Amino acid sequence: MNDDLGSLASRFVEERIDGPQPEEIDLWSEAVYAALFSVAFEVVVRLSSAKGSPEDLERETNTIIEATCAHAALWVNARLSEAARQFKGLGLRVQWDVAPGMRGRMVTYFNTDPV
């Protein structure tokens, strides 16, 4: 079920964010990761299954992170590749695989203590 929630979180962000312009890929990526975190966080805090113990919270958080990133990596890579096509004229070939970085960023966001 939480795989479905991760997919839902990803689709929610996907439907609301256009693709990046070639000159704003880094900023766009940061905005996407922050949006994915925000939606995934809202999902986790509303799950009754995450409220039993710290272990339950960690398990549900990891499940949502994995499911959200697995779904989001597909459309994020596609949008980044679309923006990178402009580089072909320069003789550069760019491929994207944001999944590892996205997972790392989401884990960091979830594990950061509020200031």
Torsion over CA of 46, 48, 41 and 104, rounded to 10 degrees? -170
Tens-digit pLDDT profile for residues 26-45: 889 889 999 999 999 999 99
d(CA 37, CA 102): 10
Tens-digit pLDDT profile for residues 44-81: 999 999 898 999 999 999 999 999 999 999 999 888 88
Q: What are phi and psi of 47, to 5 degrees?
A: -80, 120
- Say if residues 7 and 66 touch (Cβ distance below 8 Å): no
Q: Please state the pTM of the whole predicted model.
A: 0.81
Q: Quickly count: other Cβ atoms within 10 Å of residue 7's Cβ.
A: 15
